């Protein structure tokens, strides 16, 4: 049993959180690795995690990032509307699920020096296919504007979706260049 004087290191600390309820635009975690490398993870939509409380995805991704030598992890989202249930995004307008400042924050974060971008949302897409396709086209355009390459970790889920961060398990932990034609129909 741990005594009250014992500190347990989890390998990361939560920091800056750009949140204007009901939107979270970014969340930054710093790992225990002393590195200037930043991992930018683009997920589907944000959970309830903030700078004062993590969740299983943030924890797993931050620990993976630390093991890969990243000093910071920046969590961004295709859609900034906060919900722990993806079904909460269904039936909403494009503007409502993307969020009023999501593009501005994403573009600023993608300009961080020494960053690697990883797409990570799994196969449960909570918006209509045309909205999803529109968003992928926009994100791809932002990355191409500043000459960044998108990656994914492990095999694509269902052969068409970047694996969710909670699924970066044994056998699916290697970082790979994303072939956009595989995820854009």
pLDDT in tens, 66-112: 999 999 999 999 999 998 777 788 889 999 999 999 999 999 999 99
Banded pLDDT at 147 (limits 50, 70, 90): very high
Q: Where are the domains of the chain?
A: 12-180
Q: Look at residue 58 in the predicted model and tell me its pLDDT.
A: 92
Q: Which of 119, 117, 118, 136 is nearest to 127 (CA)?
A: 136
Residue 34 has pLDDT above 90, yes or no: no
| pLDDT band with cut points at 50, 70 and 90 for residue 6 | very low
CB of 38 within 8 A of CB of 70?
yes
Higher pLDDT, 5 or 55: 55
Rounded-to-integer distance, Cα 87 and Cα 47, Å: 12
- Confidence (pTM): 0.92
pLDDT at 5: 41
Are 43 and 125 in contact by the 8 Å Cβ rule? The answer is: no
Share of the chain above pLDDT 70, in %: 94
């Amino acid at each position: 049993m741990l005594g009250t004087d014992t500190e347990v290191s989890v390998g990361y600390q939560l920091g800056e959180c750009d949140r204007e309820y009901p939107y979270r635009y970014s969340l930054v975690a710093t790992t225990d690795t002393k590195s200037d490398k930043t991992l930018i993870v683009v997920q589907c939509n944000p959970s309830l995690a903030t700078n004062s409380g993590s969740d299983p995805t943030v924890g797993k991704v931050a620990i993976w990032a630390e093991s890969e030598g990243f000093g910071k992890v920046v969590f961004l989202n295709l859609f900034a509307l906060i919900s722990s249930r993806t079904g909460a995004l269904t039936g909403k307008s494009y503007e409502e699920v993307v969020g009023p400042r999501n593009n501005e924050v994403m573009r600023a974060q993608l300009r961080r020096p020494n960053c690697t971008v990883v797409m990570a949302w799994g196969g449960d897409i909570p918006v209509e296919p045309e909205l999803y396709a529109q968003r992928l086209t926009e994100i791809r355009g932002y990355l191409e504007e500043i000459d960044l390459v998108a990656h994914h970790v492990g095999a694509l889920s269902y052969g068409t979706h970047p694996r969710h961060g909670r699924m970066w398990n044994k056998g699916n932990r290697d970082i790979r260049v994303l072939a956009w034609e595989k995820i854009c129909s």
